[in-house]
Structure 1
């Protein structure tokens, strides 16, 4: 299989002349589940993308100065810190209310974030509240994994992005506050979730995330951003994007890049659990590859079947067969042998190696094509609200 090197320079999304891709620029499918951050990828494309490192284009009405932070009266709360991304949607529009005595930080770069986390660990750290979107959570967990191994704090996710898929999975309501998460943590209301650890095969420090997608998931990333620029957030953004993606795929024609898919080699590790005889070692054109450790997705989409813990994958062969009928089945979590015969495969695994062209999207940010190892990481304890 001929795939592009993972060393190639990253390129921004651009306009295409054909109608199918124009439709993509109107709306997107499932990528709205994880697409929350604006920004660019690093020039060398071999290191994790961090939301704090780039600004990106602001939507109309979002260019104003961020709303001020407000502190409510409360007693001092030691060993608790709020790490806020000031570019996140909610932080821009509504500000952030932080109880008195709680430290709030807004790191601007990767080195600054790492230094901050190291300092916090030295001083004693019990609860980290991440006020941002899914990309901000990814950044904090990836940096933190290098620093607090063996002494991980509880993580609170305050849904301040435009989709907030992880917060939905954890059951954190849209209107949750810092005080709510602190109260839940004090009451022992927590839940465990394992992230996906993604690394270039054979090298590098892994990036931690929760929703990984290749194929059509990548092609549609810019479209999901379009729904956000129109002001759609959370389930509304997902619904608009899914509708647009279905329209683009169904009416794109046989030569549509969406239907032709991307070449992928997928090899599952020992202990993989296939549904209905799904193959564990294959190389072919794929319309879609999804992997997640979340148990609940936006819109209650049951793309992996029944809710369960662990690393779950969904692979759809290209071109997709009986598209509309099977799309409904996938979204509803239908699990029947007929899906396998139509080239729709579900496999649970602790490890999977994926060599893919076209790159992938992790929690809303695009990474380059290459040979990647995905593993189910150690559980992280999250505060609920």
Structure 2
């Protein structure tokens, strides 16, 4: 099997020694080429090149951003049959990989790939989300979360370390200073009348939406990588509403959050958000600037995920 290992050497939890061990282990079973990224967008170029060259498998060693770039490179390649993907987590959160049952430890994830090869396991077909022309693997959002992602990216760009606590501080700061307190969005879902007065909208491709340390934050527990998109939106940003919803998101269990100002739908094929003024958009934790409208849609069975068996993809409650 022809494979390309795409490595982000600057990913949070990777080291040179770990990369060498990973490459050596995979090369024992695959015809492997190793490529290292050198900046933003390079992983997408490498994945597109691997697709056009006829690779059977692209292994990604990096965080959520690197995985997103590889997926977009594969999906947008001009020619060639789409290769399977496998993920060896190397970032700080690794939402997509963890949601699909990939071992969070790079050694364990590598063993999953080798076991799948030994067992001649077929890849699992997974859906992707599409926000206009950008594919996403786990979530996209308009409003507060995008503004927080932008603020965190600025911190990262200064060379400072990022953490879950930094995300919380930035979220509180933006919320308390009034960012996103004006309802600027109108949400359109299939079979429903347009819903005006929306403050923020999250669109998920998998469950959970993200993680707080080891705890899964589940906006749409009924969303899976085998089905459509999950939509989560708020028509109020008043303190009681936000406190109630956040409290439900942080609790253990699989019960979906509920509130009068909460719009929540699972397994929808598409969603359209129109904005009365430009609003920030993030895709898989990557800030894409402001948008006046965004069309989201599900792309069923878009890629083959190689490695973990399908039955391990649902996170345990409270994980």
TM-score between the two structures when normalised by the length of structure 1 = 0.63
User: How far has the Cα of 1:110 moved from its partner?
Assistant: 8.3
Q: Are 1:259 and 1:318, in contact at CA under 8 Å, matched by a contact in 2?
A: no
Q: Do structure 1's residue 316 and structure 2's residue 247 form an aligned pair? A: no
SS of equivalent to 1:219: helix
Task: Return the match for 1:212 from 119, 137, 140.
Answer: 140
- Residue number in structure 2 paired with 1:267: 188
User: How far has the Cα of 1:103 moved from its partner?
Assistant: 0.9
Q: Distance in 2 between matches of 1:268 and 1:128?
A: 34
Q: Are 1:227 and 1:241, in contact at CA under 8 Å, matched by a contact in 2?
A: no
Q: Are 1:156 and 1:181, in contact at CA under 8 Å, matched by a contact in 2?
A: no
Moved over 6 A (4+): 109-112, 227-230
Q: Give the structure with the higher percent strand.
A: 2
Q: Do structure 1's residue 244 and structure 2's residue 169 form an aligned pair? A: yes
C-alpha distance after superposition, 1:208-242 (max 9, x if no partner)? 4421012110221245455997656xxxx33x256
User: How far has the Cα of 1:355 moved from its partner?
Assistant: 2.1
- Residue number in structure 2 paired with 1:303: 219
Q: Are 1:170 and 1:384, in contact at CA under 8 Å, matched by a contact in 2?
A: no
User: How far has the Cα of 1:181 moved from its partner?
Assistant: 4.4
How large is the Cα RMSD of the aligned pairs? 3.3
- Residue number in structure 2 paired with 1:51: none
- Residue number in structure 2 paired with 1:289: 201
Cα gap change, 1:120/1:219 in structure 2, threshold over 3 Å: closer, same or farther?
Answer: closer
Gaps of 5+ in 2: 309-319
Q: Are 2:51 and 2:79, in contact at CA under 8 Å, matched by a contact in 1?
A: no
Q: Structure with the greater relative contact order (CA < 8 A, sep ≥ 6): 1 or 2? A: 1
Q: Are 2:127 and 2:228, in contact at CA under 8 Å, matched by a contact in 1?
A: yes
Q: How many residues align?
A: 282
Q: Are 1:266 and 1:282, in contact at CA under 8 Å, matched by a contact in 2?
A: yes
Q: Do structure 1's residue 183 and structure 2's residue 114 form an aligned pair? A: yes
Task: Return the match for 1:355 from 274, 293, 306.
Answer: 274
TM-score between the two structures when normalised by the length of structure 2 = 0.75
Task: Return the match for 1:140 from 37, 49, 70.
Answer: 70
- Residue number in structure 1 paired with 2:54: 124
Q: Following superposition of structure 1 onto structure 2, how do residues 1-385 of structure 1 map, counting pairs within 5 Å? A: 78-91=1-14, 95-96=18-19, 97=21, 98-99=23-24, 100=27, 101-108=31-38, 116-117=46-47, 119-121=49-51, 123-147=53-77, 151-177=81-107, 179-186=110-117, 187=119, 188=121, 190-199=123-132, 205-225=133-153, 226=155, 231=161, 237-238=163-164, 240-241=165-166, 243-244=168-169, 247-248=172-173, 252=176, 256-258=177-179, 260-270=181-191, 280-286=193-199, 288-296=200-208, 297-298=210-211, 299-306=215-222, 308=224, 309-320=227-238, 322=240, 323-332=242-251, 334-335=255-256, 339=259, 341=260, 343-348=261-266, 349-356=268-275, 357-367=278-288, 368-379=290-301, 380-385=303-308
User: How far has the Cα of 1:281 moved from its partner?
Assistant: 1.0
C-alpha distance after superposition, 1:154-193 (max 9, x if no partner)? 2111111222111111222232247424314313174443
- Residue number in structure 1 paired with 2:313: none
Cα gap change, 1:148/1:366 in structure 2, threshold over 3 Å: closer, same or farther?
Answer: same
Q: Are 1:353 and 1:371, in contact at CA under 8 Å, matched by a contact in 2?
A: yes
C-alpha distance after superposition, 1:331-362 (max 9, x if no partner)? 445447x61x2x11102310111123322111
Cα gap change, 1:179/1:328 in structure 2, threshold over 3 Å: closer, same or farther?
Answer: closer
Q: Are 1:170 and 1:191, in contact at CA under 8 Å, matched by a contact in 2?
A: no
